[in-house]
């Protein structure tokens, strides 16, 4: 198809042709075209189908407010649904497909819906699908879900990159039309840090679309001159293709820059889009205005467009929807479209102006006081029927209708923080009120000043005001003489008597639907919106909301401002999920933390597990092992029989110093630390304010004023944060300083009866680590391997004779290798978190499963640890009656009566006989493991008054899984209950 609707002139580059396809058909456009303008130039009017009735639809607008021409762009992982053809920049090779139709756009079977429109009115599904009730989940909802939605995704991963970034400026100018450009010129010359952002790829706004904005020069000349100057200013950042989509607290704005949407594929390693967070000291909203349609019978046929859009296509893109265009309006601006079209050689059979006093227009007939009452044309308008002022009807053949119901300031960004706009009577539109977000101002058409002169002056004036408020001196620039036509408008929203007159094109909401909502008492705007789905489509009702409000106002007899508007919410236009995700996708969703022995562990073939952001070795499979249990059992047995090594660097380490360090720890821990001797370690339990236990660990005292606290891996940050809070806010007078040293030290647990022998080969000989010189719960600063500083702690999580040894992290890898070498003669084994877990369960040590946010020190069997001699966080509330009942939970061990049975985690304990229900619950199982030492499944759990129930047999049930086994309550300390091993 040739470019039959291409006109002369425009701002496209006709020497740069671009080939593209739409629904498989090949077309040609030019550099500077949008997909919409190129299709229009090629005579394509039918571009989509409506959401509900599947009505044929063409372009309504020329900008981001477009409700109809939604398409799928590209294919494969790059397929993007619901893209507005009006903002899709044409590039060579672009492929676009229509959507929401089957089998083709011309012949859409779902258009059958239109035949049933009488039944499919607003709220039909609320009424229709009420009965029978059982049908909802199985039948109605699946059908509705299948029918819903517009474009489709392929399900393939998006191969492109998306960046996120942060910008700072004195003045953010949103919109680069006449208002924005004059503001940028003012602020740029004043030396302020300026960001000028516009969603379009060409800056200039309506100056690109209107032929006679200036008295004595073309708009594009002035734009070039201004951009030339702005580009030369280092303090001005010009951001085309950038939509500022949201206004947030503290002058922060969200913006999406489309870096590569205008290319077939982004350059390697470059983002497709960038999501910017802009920190502005001041912001100027210069977003212009959006024209509103008029509701009349069958006003949704392809070819029926907004007048300003038709003008923009003709002037900027040299394209016309047809060679015969009727203009329909209620204001003077509509006449400008007729004049510009005629100047381009397009036939304008008539201007239908609802105003009875409409002025004449040279070159065409003005039908004053007339209205369009019907249109014809199956896949595009072919004629209209006009009711003249005298009541007679006249049919006029045409290929397009350019309609204008006036202009609405584009004020979404001014209302994103719940601001409510106010009504401006002279333009019959809502304008931003004084209730603007902090630091924001509005100018130009967005403020309701609709002439070019007002836009230029408003932009510069508001820029001066904004900069003056920042202490920057700015002066008004010389601005060209521009048109300053008064707004001559007679409010007119819909043609009375129309049966099907569209308000919301995308969601198929008609005047009749609003009337139905009124009839059924959904008269509040918020109810109207939800009942009819008005404004709930991807265009957020940019072209429809006010029309519907006006109809509702008419029905209720209230003025429009009293009827009000719904809330404006970000984003202004849809933002791709990819842009919101940025680079945090897949394995980069969060940072990964590696332990010092990670490389070594990889060499051993370790299987890793994510623990928060950490990757920890879970077990180390050996050749011939086919099941993880084989590896774990081996690691446990080898450790208990000789010696094993585990990387425990992930445990939190907090350095606590200061003259009051001891007092501080006394306050933080439930148990006492002030009298802990230097060179000793003590187990400590921390409580929440409400008395519930939340973390445990150790504190080692290296000097009178120096402790090192360890925490669980999971709570390392939480404990540090809570300690900082306590230091800064609870006890600011205590002389104590904290800093995390978790990452500074590579720390290994060396456990098993041969652990001392192994370490004696590593620790330098001047340090005596014999049982006598370095007994259980000792700590010391030592050197290893010939002089490297290190820390040694004699503590045990496994219940074995055990140590933890720490060296500066950079030496952690080497120390692991040295220890493994030194341990060869003892058959040393590395063990992972699974073996660690098995051994701590065998020993009866609590971990995260037991410190589960509901358990107290008493429940954990550590009630006596909560010192009564001192104050600490949580001790008062831990004495609440409810937490100290006689039948309070106690930590116990659980083993199956039949040793071949498996104890399941999470099951509940019931008496040996009697009902199985919540009322008879005796407790629950928190941790389970297979103990290779005991050759039995074992568990830990909480049982009411458990300490007094040793030997009792209970049923362990899990009704969800149908489990029911007999277990015996035993001591939680399955291994070495007297602690002889760890003191050996």
Q: Can you list the positions of beta strands (E) in 796-905? A: 802-808, 829-830, 889-896
Distance from C-alpha of 678 to C-alpha of 665, rounded to nearest angstrom: 14
Cβ atoms of residues 718 and 725 within 8 Å: no
Q: Give the Cβ contact number of residue 149 at 10 Å.
A: 13
- Shortest distance, position 812 Cβ to another protein, whole Å: 8
The smaller minimum CB distance to another protein, of residues 690 and 724, is found at 724
- Helix count (H) and strand count (E) of the chain? 22, 48
Contact 899, 942 (CB under 8 A): no
* Binds another protein by CB under 8 A, chosen from 132, 155, 557, 591: 591
Is 161 a binding residue for another protein by CB under 8 A? The answer is yes
Nearest-angstrom CA–CA distance, 662 and 122 = 71
CA distance 504 to 949: 71
Three-class SS state of 846: coil
H or E element in which residue 446 lies: none
Least spacing, CB of residue 809 vs another protein, in Å: 4
Q: Containing H/E element for 104?
A: none
Residue 891 φ/ψ, nearest 5 degrees: -70, 125
How close are the terminal C-alpha atoms of the chain, in Å? 93
Question: Nearest CA to 256 among 572, 535, 36?
Answer: 572
Q: Kindly determine how many residues on this chain lie close enough to bind another protein according to the rule CB under 8 A.
A: 62
Integer CA distances (angstroms), 970 to 428, 884, 890, 953, 975, in order: 82, 22, 12, 10, 12
Q: Beta-carbon neighbour count of residue 143 at 10 Å? A: 12
Nearer Cβ to another protein (788/933)? 788
* Residue 821 within binding range of another protein, rule CB under 8 A: no
Within 524-627, strands assigned E span: 593-594, 607-611, 614-619
With CB under 8 A as the contact rule, the residue among 103, 155, 787, 914 that binds another protein is: 787
Query: Is 26 one of the binding residues for another protein (CB under 8 A)?
Result: no
Among residues 34, 595, 855, 937, the one that binds another protein under rule CB under 8 A: 595
Q: Is 784 in the site for another protein (CB under 8 A)?
A: yes
* Interface stretch with another protein, choices 529-537, 673-681, 801-809, 856-864 (CB under 8 A): 801-809
- Residue 676-705 contact track with another protein, rule CB under 8 A, x = bound: -----------------------------x
Residue in this structure with the two tokens 């360090």, named with its chain if needed: 661
DSSP assignment of 698-722: EEEEEETTEEEEEE-STTHHHHHHH
Distance separating alpha carbons of residues 571 and 663, to the nearest angstrom: 52
Separation CA 933–CA 633 (nearest Å): 9
Answer yes or no whether residue 747 interacts with another protein by CB under 8 A: no
Tell me the closest approach of the beta carbon of residue 441 to another protein, in angstroms.
23
469 HSE (CA, 13 A, CB side): 14
| Closer of 813 and 879 to another protein (Cβ) | 813
Q: Which stretch binds another protein (CB under 8 A): 81-89, 271-279, 366-374, 873-881?
A: 271-279
In the complex, the smallest distance separating the C-beta of residue 235 from another protein, rounded to whole angstroms, is 10
Considering only residues 68 to 87 of the shown chain, the ones binding another protein according to CB under 8 A are: none
DSSP classification of residue 52: S
Chain residues 623-642 in contact with another protein, contact rule CB under 8 A: none
User: Which of 90-98, 512-520, 730-738, 899-907 is the region at the interface with another protein (rule: CB under 8 A)?
Assistant: 730-738
Smallest separation (angstroms) from another protein to the CB of 604: 15
Q: Least distance in Å: CB of 757 to another protein?
A: 20
Residue 103: CB partners within 8 Å, gap ≥ 6? 109
Say if CB 711 and CB 652 are below 8 A apart. yes
Q: Which is nearer to another protein, 102 or 589 (CB)?
A: 589
Among 211, 585, 744, 933, binds another protein (CB under 8 A): 744
Token representation of residue 184: 């940028």
- 271 is a site residue for another protein (CB under 8 A): yes
CB 452 to another protein: min, Å: 34
**Position among 110, 476, 555, 814 found at the interface with another protein (CB under 8 A):** 814
DSSP string covering 256-313, please?
Answer: EEESSTTSSSPPTT-EEEEEEEEEEEEEEE---EEE---B-BTTTSTTEEEHHHHHHH
Residue 209 or 806 with smaller CB distance to another protein: 806
* Radius of gyration for the alpha carbons in the chain, expressed in angstroms and rounded: 38
Out of 470, 678, 730, 785, the residue judged to bind another protein by CB under 8 A = 785
Q: How far is the CB of 780 from another protein (least distance, A)?
A: 16
Residue 270 interacts with another protein (CB under 8 A)?
yes
One character per residue 168-187, x = contact with another protein (rule: CB under 8 A) = x-------------------
Among 594, 672, 718, 947, which residue interacts with another protein (rule: CB under 8 A)? 594
Q: How far apart are CA 58 and CA 46, in angstroms?
A: 5
Residue closer to another protein, measured from CB, 25 or 590: 590
**899-958 binders of another protein (CB under 8 A):** none
765 binds another protein (CB under 8 A): no
Binding mask 222-261 for another protein (x = CB under 8 A): ----------------------------------------
Minimal distance, residue 596 CB to another protein, in Å: 8
983 is a site residue for another protein (CB under 8 A): no
The DSSP code for 935 is: T
Nearest-approach distance from CB 736 to another protein, in angstroms = 8
**8 Å CB contact between 217 and 246:** no
Task: Using the minimum distance from each CB to another protein, give the nearer residue, 814 or 820.
Answer: 814
> Residue 735 interacts with another protein (CB under 8 A)?
yes
Among 413, 815, 888, 903, binds another protein (CB under 8 A): 815
Identified binder of another protein from the candidate list 658, 679, 848, 863, rule CB under 8 A: 658
Binding site for another protein (CB under 8 A): 161, 163-168, 193, 269-271, 274, 277, 279, 583-584, 588, 590-595, 598-599, 613-614, 649, 655, 657-659, 705-706, 733, 735, 737, 739-746, 783-789, 807-815, 818
């Amino acid at each position: 198809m040739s470019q039959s609707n291409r006109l002369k002139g425009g701002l496209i580059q006709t020497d740069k042709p671009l080939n593209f396809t739409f629904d498989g058909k090949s077309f040609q456009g030019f550099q500077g075209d949008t997909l919409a303008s190129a299709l229009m130039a090629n005579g394509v009017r039918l571009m989509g189908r409506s959401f509900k009735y599947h009505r044929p639809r063409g372009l309504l607008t020329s900008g981001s407010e477009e409700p109809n021409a939604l398409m799928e762009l590209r294919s494969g992982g790059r397929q993007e649904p619901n893209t507005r053809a009006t903002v899709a920049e044409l590039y060579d090779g672009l492929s676009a497909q229509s959507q929401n139709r089957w089998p083709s756009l011309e012949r859409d079977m779902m258009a059958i819906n239109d035949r049933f429109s009488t039944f499919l009115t607003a709220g039909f599904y609320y009424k229709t699908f009420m009965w029978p009730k059982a049908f909802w989940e199985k039948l109605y909802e699946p059908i509705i879900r299948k029918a819903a939605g517009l474009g489709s995704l392929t399900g393939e991963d998006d191969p492109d990159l998306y960046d996120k970034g942060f910008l700072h400026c004195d003045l953010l100018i949103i919109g680069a039309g006449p208002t924005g450009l004059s503001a940028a010129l003012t602020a740029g010359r004043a030396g302020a840090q300026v960001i000028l952002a516009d969603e379009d790829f060409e800056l200039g706004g309506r100056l690109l679309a209107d032929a006679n904005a200036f008295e004595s020069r073309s708009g594009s000349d002035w734009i070039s001159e201004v951009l030339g100057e702005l580009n030369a200013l280092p303090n001005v950042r010009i951001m085309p293709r950038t939509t500022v989509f949201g206004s947030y607290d503290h002058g922060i704005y969200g913006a999406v820059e489309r870096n590569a949407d205008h290319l077939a594929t982004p350059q390697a390693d470059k983002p497709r889009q960038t999501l910017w967070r802009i920190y502005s000291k001041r912001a100027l909203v210069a977003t212009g205005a959006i024209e509103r349609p008029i509701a009349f019978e069958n006003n949704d046929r392809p070819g029926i467009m907004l007048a300003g859009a038709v003008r923009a296509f003709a002037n900027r893109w040299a394209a016309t929807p047809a060679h015969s265009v009727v203009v329909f309006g209620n204001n003077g601006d509509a006449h400008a479209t007729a004049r510009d079209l005629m100047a381009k050689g397009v036939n304008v059979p008539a201007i239908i102006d609802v105003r009875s006093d409409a002025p004449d227009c040279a070159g065409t007939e003005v039908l004053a006081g007339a209205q369009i009452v019907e249109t014809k044309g199956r896949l595009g308008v072919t004629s209209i029927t006009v009711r003249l002022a005298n009541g007679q009807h006249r049919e006029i053949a045409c290929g397009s209708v350019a309609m204008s119901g006036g202009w609405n300031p584009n004020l979404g960004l001014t209302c994103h923080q719940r601001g409510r706009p106010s009504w401006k009577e002279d333009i019959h539109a809502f304008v931003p009120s004084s209730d603007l977000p902090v630091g924001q101002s509005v100018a130009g058409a967005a403020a309701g000043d609709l002439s070019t002169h007002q836009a230029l002056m408003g932009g510069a004036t508001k820029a001066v005001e904004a900069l003056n408020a920042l202490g920057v001196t700015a002066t008004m620039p010389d601005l060209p003489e521009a048109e300053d036509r008064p707004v001559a408008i007679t409010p007119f929203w819909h043609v009375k008597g129309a049966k099907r007159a569209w308000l919301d094109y995308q969601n198929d909401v008609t005047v009749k639907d609003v009337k139905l909502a009124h009839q059924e008492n959904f008269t509040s705007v918020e109810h109207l919106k939800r009942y009819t789905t008005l404004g709930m489509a991807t265009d957020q009702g940019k072209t429809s909301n006010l029309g519907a409000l006006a109809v509702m106002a008419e029905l209720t007899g209230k003025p429009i401002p009293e009827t009000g508007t719904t809330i404006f919410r970000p984003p202004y236009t849809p933002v791709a999920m990819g842009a919101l995700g940025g680079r945090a996708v897949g394995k980069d969703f969060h940072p990964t933390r590696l332990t010092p022995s990670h490389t070594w562990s990889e060499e051993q073939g370790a299987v890793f597990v994510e623990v928060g952001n950490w990757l920890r070795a879970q077990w180390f499979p050996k050749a011939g092992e086919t099941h993880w249990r084989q590896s774990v059992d081996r690691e446990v047995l080898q450790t208990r029989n000789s010696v094993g090594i585990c990387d425990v660097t992930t445990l939190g380490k907090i350095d606590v110093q200061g003259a009051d360090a001891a007092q501080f720890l006394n306050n933080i821990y439930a148990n006492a630390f002030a009298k802990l001797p230097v060179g000793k370690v003590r187990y400590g339990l921390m409580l929440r304010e409400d008395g519930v236990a939340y973390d445990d660990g150790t504190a080692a005292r290296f000097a009178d004023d120096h402790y090192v606290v360890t925490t669980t891996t999971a709570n390392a940050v939480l404990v540090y944060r809570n300690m900082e809070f306590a230091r800064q806010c609870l006890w600011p007078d205590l002389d104590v300083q904290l800093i995390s040293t978790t990452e500074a030290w590579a720390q290994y647990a060396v456990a098993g009866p041969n652990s001392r022998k192994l370490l004696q080969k590593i620790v330098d000989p001047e340090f005596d680590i014999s049982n006598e010189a370095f007994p259980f719960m000792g700590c010391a600063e030592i050197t290893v391997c010939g002089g490297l500083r290190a820390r040694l702690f004699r503590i045990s999580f496994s219940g074995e004779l055990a140590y933890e040894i720490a060296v500066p992290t950079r030496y952690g890898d080497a120390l692991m290798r040295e220890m493994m070498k030194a341990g060869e003669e003892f058959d040393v084994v590395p063990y992972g978190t699974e073996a660690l877990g098995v051994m701590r369960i065998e020993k009866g040590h609590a971990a995260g499963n037991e410190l589960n946010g509901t358990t107290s020190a008493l429940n954990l069997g550590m009630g006596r640890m909560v010192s009564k001699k001192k104050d600490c966080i949580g001790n008062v509330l831990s004495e609440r009656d409810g937490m100290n009942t006689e039948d309070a939970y106690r930590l116990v061990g659980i083993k199956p009566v039949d040793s071949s049975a498996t104890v399941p985690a999470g099951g509940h304990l019931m008496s040996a006989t009697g009902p199985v229900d919540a009322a008879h619950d005796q407790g629950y199982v928190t941790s389970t493991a297979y103990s290779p030492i005991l050759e039995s499944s074992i568990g830990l759990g909480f049982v009411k008054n458990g300490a007094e129930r040793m030997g009792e047999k209970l049923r362990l049930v899990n009704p969800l899984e149908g489990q029911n086994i007999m277990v015996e309550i035993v001591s939680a300390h399955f291994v070495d209950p007297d602690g002889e091993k760890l003191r050996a």
